[in-house]
């Protein structure tokens, strides 16, 4: 059955009498819900489709807003929502509330976020979110520009997929991120980006704190300030894969990294490949790619393959790829393995016990191999134990000798430093050399300055 909404009365009719399985709801007008309007959350489930047709919904002066919809198995698309002077509560998102699942497409939201809330969806959301954009400020912990987070390790088979989404704004809060706040399991992020400024411990340009995630073809231009922060992920837990991503914003904070902040769990496995960071980094124990500040964690495995950094790094115990700290704790019966292969850093590095690839690390690793790597500075500091292997790696004077074995399917070698072919594909633009910053295409570069007019622009295009 097809329902149409032409005024608030018809909206409230569907709030009281929910649509049935496979029904479709179409919004034919702009709506305003102010402080006098209560109980207007609509229930969408059983494959019901709600199409906002790019009409604008204004939530004005609502001090306890908990999401426009409760979504349990349906689809929501084409909504422009402005949360003017309203406050989002109860771990909700502006579009859907806490605990929802389903599909959300082509939604644009402007508003502010506080603790445990999300720009599009609240906590524990499962399903898929595509082509959604949030513009606003996040002042609170465990919050995200698209999804708040998930604190449950149950139902690991229920995946969250976020694709072609963006955040633009200001974040001030612990474990918060431009796309997701704190998420504990099974998330895939593809072709997303964030811009603005982030302040807070354990926060990141894409994700704040996370377990079991895959992030690919995504980037952040955010300026980031805080302990254990990262251009892509803040705190790194358990199984993480970052592929074909980059960050370009400046980072200021102890134990932070151009892509990843510190490791916070035992038994972590982290793979970072074909990725890069461009921003300058200032702070102790920082790395151009990742920080290993939390060295008392054991049984970790880190692989950094075909990555590079161009930013300047200032601070003691820092590294062009990995930064670390002095640690007098001696572990026994551990299995800590680090593999850095086909990587380089081209920026200036300044600081006591800092190095071009790997800063000071006094812990007795099971194995650490640096292979085919380049820097303008000494590659390592403090690597004198028998399990450390430096293989075909040197200062950039021997550049051509070192990169001869780099795969021609991954790198172009016709410049002072090579560039990654992955960023010359049809989803990126403006990447012409190793030090040029690419952009996503395919409509994901949402211009927040157009927000107040976006619903009119969309209507004209359609």
Q: Which two tokens stand for residue 357?
A: 């690839």
Give Cβ neighbours of residue 361 (< 8 Å, ≥ 6 apart).
292, 295, 322, 324, 368, 382, 383
Q: What is the pLDDT, as a whole number, of residue 22?
A: 93
What tokens appear for 230 in the block? 């990262």
Which pLDDT does position 63 carry in this prediction?
76
Q: What mean pLDDT do residues 335-349 have?
A: 90
On whether residue 440 sits in a domain, the answer given is: no
Q: Provide the residue range defining the domain that includes 256.
A: 226-413
> Which CATH number covers residue 149?
2.160.20.110
pLDDT in tens, 116-158: 899 999 888 889 999 999 999 988 888 999 998 775 544 556 7
Same domain, 75 and 114: yes
204-248 residue pLDDT tens: 999 998 778 899 999 999 999 999 999 999 987 778 999 999 999
Q: Are 236 and 134 members of one domain?
A: no
Instruction: Give the per-residue pLDDT at 322.
Output: 92
| 402 or 347, which is more confident | 347
| Confidence check: pLDDT of 454 > 60 | no
For strands 160-163 and 147-150, give the pairing: unpaired
Cα 452 from chain centre: 26
Domain final residue pick, 199, 220, 241: 220
The pLDDT assigned to 49 comes to 97
Q: What does the pLDDT read at residue 309?
A: 96
Please indicate, yes or no, whether the overall pTM of this predicted structure exceeds 0.85.
yes
Q: Which residue has the higher pLDDT, 256 or 383?
A: 256
> Can you count the helices (H) and strands (E) in the chain?
3, 40
The pLDDT tens digits of the residues spanning 23-50 come to 999 999 999 998 777 789 999 998 999 9
Q: Are 85 and 64 in contact (CB under 8 A)?
A: no
Claim to verify: residue 230 and residue 134 sit in the same structural domain: no
Secondary structure of residue 30 in the 3-state scheme? coil
Higher pLDDT pick, 397 / 175: 175
For the chain, how many structural domains are there in total? 2
Cα separation, 68 vs 63, whole angstroms: 14
Q: Do residues 157 and 234 share a domain?
A: no
Share of the chain above pLDDT 90, in %: 51
pLDDT at 268: 79
Residues 159 and 112 in one domain: yes
Is residue 381 predicted with pLDDT exceeding 70? no
DSSP 290-331: EE---TT--S-EEEEES-EE-S-EESTT-BSSEE--------
Q: What is the pLDDT of residue 325?
A: 61
* Strands 313-314 vs 344-345: parallel, antiparallel or unpaired: unpaired
**Among the three residues 191, 220, 249, which one is the final residue of a domain in this structure?**
220
Is 450 within the bounds of a domain? no
433 within some domain = no
Q: Taking residues 318-343, what's their average pLDDT?
A: 75
The predicted model gives 78-97 an average pLDDT of: 88
Picking from 378, 394, 413, the residue at the C-terminal end of a domain is: 413
pLDDT of 333 reads 43
Does residue 429 sit within a domain? no
Are 247 and 162 in a shared domain? no
> Could you give the count of Cα atoms lying within 13 Å of 284 in the half-sphere of its Cβ?
5
Q: In whole angstroms, what is the distance from residue 153 CA to residue 150 CA?
A: 8
Is residue 422, in this structure, part of any structural domain at all? Answer: no
Instruction: Please indicate whether residue 19 or residue 397 has the higher confidence score (pLDDT).
Output: 19
Based on the fold, state whether residues 317 and 233 are members of the same structural domain: yes
- Over its C-alpha atoms, the chain yields an Rg (Å, rounded) of 23
452 is a domain residue: no
Alpha-carbon span 340 to 390, nearest angstrom: 10
**Residue 435 falls inside a structural domain:** no
Q: How confident is the model at residue 379 (pLDDT cuts 50, 70, 90)?
A: confident
DSSP 331-353: -SS---EEEEES-EE-S-EESTT
- The predicted-structure confidence for 261-286, as pLDDT tens digits, reads as follows 887 667 778 999 999 999 999 998 89
The CA-to-CA distance between both ends of the chain, in Å, stands at 24
Q: What band does 54 get if pLDDT is binned at 50, 70 and 90?
A: very high
Q: Is residue 457 part of a domain?
A: no
Same domain, 146 and 244: no
Specify whether 338 is located in the same domain as 381: yes
Shared domain for 232 and 205, answered yes or no, is no
Do 192 and 62 share a structural domain? yes
- Identify the band that residue 68 occupies on the pLDDT scale cut at 50, 70 and 90: very high
pLDDT score, position 445: 45
What confidence tier does 193 reach under pLDDT thresholds 50, 70, 90? Answer: very high
pLDDT higher than threshold 60 for residue 385 = no
Place of tokens 């599909």: 103
The mean pLDDT value for 101-112 works out to: 94
What is the mean pLDDT of the segment spanning 298-303? 83
Same domain, 234 and 190: no
């Amino acid at each position: 059955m097809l329902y149409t909404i032409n005024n608030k009365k018809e909206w409230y009719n569907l709030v009281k009498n929910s649509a049935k399985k496979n029904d479709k709801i179409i919004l034919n007008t702009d709506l305003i819900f102010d402080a006098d309007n209560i109980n207007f959350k609509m229930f969408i489930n059983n494959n019901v489709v709600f199409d906002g047709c790019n009409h604008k919904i204004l939530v004005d002066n609502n001090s306890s807003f908990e999401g426009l919809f409760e979504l349990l198995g349906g689809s929501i698309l084409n909504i422009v929502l402005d949360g003017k002077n309203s406050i989002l509560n109860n771990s909700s998102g502006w579009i859907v509330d806490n605990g929802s699942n389903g599909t959300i497409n082509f939604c644009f939201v402007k508003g502010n976020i506080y603790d445990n809330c999300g720009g599009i969806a609240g906590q524990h959301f499962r399903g898929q979110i595509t082509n959604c954009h949030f513009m606003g400020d996040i002042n609170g912990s465990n919050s995200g520009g698209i999804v708040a987070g998930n604190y449950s390790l149950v139902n690991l088979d229920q995946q969250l997929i976020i694709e072609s989404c963006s955040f633009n704004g200001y974040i001030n809060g612990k474990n918060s991120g431009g796309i997701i706040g704190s998420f504990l399991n099974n998330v895939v992020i593809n072709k997303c980006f964030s811009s603005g400024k982030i302040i807070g411990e354990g926060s990141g340009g894409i994700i704040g704190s996370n377990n079991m995630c895959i992030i690919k073809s995504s980037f952040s231009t955010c300026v980031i300030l805080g302990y254990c922060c990262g251009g892509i992920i803040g705190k790194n837990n358990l199984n993480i894969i970052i592929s074909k991503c980059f960050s370009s914003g400046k980072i200021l904070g102890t134990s932070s990294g151009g892509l990843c902040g510190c490791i916070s769990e035992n038994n972590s496995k982290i793979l970072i490949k074909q990725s890069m960071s461009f921003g300058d980094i200032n702070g102790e124990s920082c790395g151009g790619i990742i920080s290993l500040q939390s060295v008392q964690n054991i049984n970790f495995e880190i692989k950094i393959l075909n990555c590079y950094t161009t930013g300047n790094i200032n601070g003691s115990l820092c590294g062009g790829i990995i930064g670390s700290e002095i640690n007098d704790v001696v572990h026994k019966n551990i299995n800590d393995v680090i593999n850095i292969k086909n990587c380089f850093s081209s920026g200036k590095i300044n600081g006591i016990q800092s190095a071009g690839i790997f800063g000071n690390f006094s812990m007795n690793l099971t194995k650490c191999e640096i292979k085919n790597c380049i820097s303008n500075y000494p590659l390592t500091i403090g690597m004198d134990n028998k399990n450390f292997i430096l293989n075909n790696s040197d200062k950039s004077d021997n550049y051509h000798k070192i990169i001869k074995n780099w795969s021609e399917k991954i790198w172009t070698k016709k410049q002072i430093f090579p560039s990654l072919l992955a960023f010359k594909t049809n989803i990126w633009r403006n990447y012409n050399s190793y030090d040029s910053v690419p952009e996503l295409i395919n409509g994901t570069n949402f211009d927040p300055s157009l927000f107040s007019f976006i619903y009119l622009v969309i209507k004209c295009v359609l």
